[in-house]
């Protein structure tokens, strides 16, 4: 299947190699961005039919960078299976579809991951009544596990490494896992931490469930583009980086106008007051200013979509800035 996909990718690339994606997007007048068919906190239609979420914000940020207008984006829904062919065939300009960055996807499938907008990882959720505070105390537990996924392998590795045993209850979908856990048919449910948070938020009484602190796998989720179009890759990469750098520098959507008169050189470079970084990217000089003004910095997007004040209640954790105990890090803006 992977081989087949890479052939598609190559064929599609041969077809689409004619002009830069950036020019295509500019000529078309709007960005085509691939998102999920609905995942809490990352991309889902709200009551008025607008897409909202961390990934949706990523798409909008790129649209703002190119057009200066957050509405110049068309969201194309893709599933786990259709996302890569959709990108390869040129039907979307980029994917922001909580896709894990792995070597085979980056290299073999012919895509380019341009950054990470959410560091996820596999975790465990248990009823708080179980009184367990660490996953290493889960000896003999019944674990609900999605079959045929990497989570299954990670789980086996983790329990073997810690010398404890478990009983697996195989399930197919996230919904099934939720129902089994809530009905008490398994003691533990394991999947990506963001998925656990949305499962917990869907419970009738979320306080009865806890997500254990152990994270046993790396799942860096980020936007990706087709391999080979570096100019376009740069636009998407620096749209994400601009949001992260803005948080580092304390520039928010509210104070961005005041920051135009800042005396910090990097702020002035970021907002396009000094330097010609927009020109280098073939974007407007104030592209990053517009992203921050219209979307906000990374922290604002995080807090609004998945942060502790939302029903998902995902703490910053790894996604905090490198200066604040996380690993979120953007190259300098100079």
Q: Which residues of this chain interact with other proteins, rule CB under 8 A?
A: 8, 11-12, 15, 18, 36-41, 43-47, 49, 52, 74-79, 81-82, 85-86, 89-91, 175, 198, 201-205, 305, 310-312
Alpha-carbon Rg for the chain in angstroms: 21
Sheet holding 166-171, edge to edge: 166-171, 141-146, 188-192, 122-127, 209-211
Give least dist CB 312 to other proteins, A: 6
Cross-strand partners of 34: 76, 95
Q: Which two tokens stand for residue 252?
A: 């928010």
- Comparing CB distances to other proteins, the nearer of 49 and 332 is 49
Strands 219-226 and 94-100: antiparallel
Whole-number Å distance between alpha carbons of 266 and 227: 30
d(CA 313, CA 294): 24
Dihedral sign, CA of 265, 266, 267, 273? positive
**Shorter beta-carbon distance to other proteins: residue 36 or 262:** 36
Least separation, in Å, of the C-beta of 53 and other proteins? Answer: 9
Q: By C-beta, is 45 or 278 nearer to other proteins?
A: 45
How many CB atoms are closer than 10 A to CB 52?
Answer: 18
User: Can you tell me the distance from the alpha carbon of 252 to that of 295, in angstroms, rounded to the nearest whole number?
Assistant: 9
Query: Which two structure tokens, joined as six digits, stand for 186?
Result: 């398994």
Closest by Cα among 3, 31, 39, 33 to 201: 39
- Choose between 82 and 162: whose C-beta lies nearer to other proteins: 82
Which residue lies nearer to other proteins by CB, 225 or 330? 225
Question: Which lies closer to other proteins via its Cβ, residue 39 or residue 181?
Answer: 39
Compute the least distance from the CB of residue 64 to other proteins, in Å: 20
Task: Judge whether 73 and 65 are in contact, CB under 8 Å.
Answer: no
Q: What is the distance between the terminal CA atoms of the chain, rounded to a whole angstrom?
A: 42
Residue 37 or residue 324: which is nearer to other proteins going by CB? Answer: 37
What's the min distance (Å) between Cβ of 258 and other proteins? 31
Closest CB 333 distance from other proteins, rounded Å: 32
Shortest Å, Cβ 123 to other proteins: 18
- Minimum distance from CB of 313 to other proteins (Å)? 10
Smallest gap from Cβ 166 to other proteins, in A, equals 27
Q: How far apart are CA 249 and CA 264, in angstroms?
A: 9
Q: Which one, 223 or 272, has the nearer CB to other proteins?
A: 223
């Amino acid at each position: 299947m992977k081989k087949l996909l890479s052939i598609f990718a190559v064929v599609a690339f041969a077809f689409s190699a004619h002009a830069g994606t950036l020019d295509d997007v500019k000529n078309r007048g709007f960005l085509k961005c691939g998102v999920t068919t609905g995942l809490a906190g990352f991309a889902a239609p709200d009551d008025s039919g607008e897409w909202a979420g961390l990934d949706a914000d990523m798409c909008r940020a790129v649209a703002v960078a190119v057009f200066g207008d957050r509405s110049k984006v068309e969201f194309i829904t893709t599933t786990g299976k259709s996302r890569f062919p959709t990108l390869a065939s040129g039907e979307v300009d980029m994917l922001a579809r909580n896709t894990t960055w792995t070597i085979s996807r980056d290299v073999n499938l012919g895509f380019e991951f341009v950054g990470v907008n959410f560091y996820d990882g596999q975790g465990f959720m248990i009823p708080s009544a179980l009184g367990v505070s660490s996953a290493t105390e889960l000896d003999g537990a019944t674990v609900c596990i999605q079959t045929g996924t990497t989570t299954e392998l990670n789980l086996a590795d983790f329990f073997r490494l810690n010398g404890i045993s478990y009983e697996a209850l195989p399930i197919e979908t996230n919904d099934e896992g939720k129902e089994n856990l809530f009905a008490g048919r398994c003691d533990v449910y394991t999947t990506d931490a963001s998925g656990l948070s949305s499962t917990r938020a869907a419970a009738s009484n979320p306080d009865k469930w806890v997500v254990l602190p152990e994270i046993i796998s790396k799942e860096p989720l980020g936007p990706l583009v087709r391999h080979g179009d570096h100019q376009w890759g740069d636009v998407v990469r620096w749209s994400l980086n601009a949001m992260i750098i803005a948080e580092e520098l304390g520039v928010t959507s509210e104070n961005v106008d005041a920051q135009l008169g800042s005396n910090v050189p990097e702020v002035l470079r970021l907002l396009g007051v000094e330097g010609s970084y927009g020109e280098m990217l073939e974007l407007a000089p104030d592209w990053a200013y517009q992203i921050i003004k219209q979307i906000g910095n990374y922290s604002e997007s995080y807090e609004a979509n998945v942060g502790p004040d939302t029903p998902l209640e995902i703490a910053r954790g790894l996604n905090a800035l490198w200066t604040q105990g996380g690993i979120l890090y953007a190259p300098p803006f100079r």
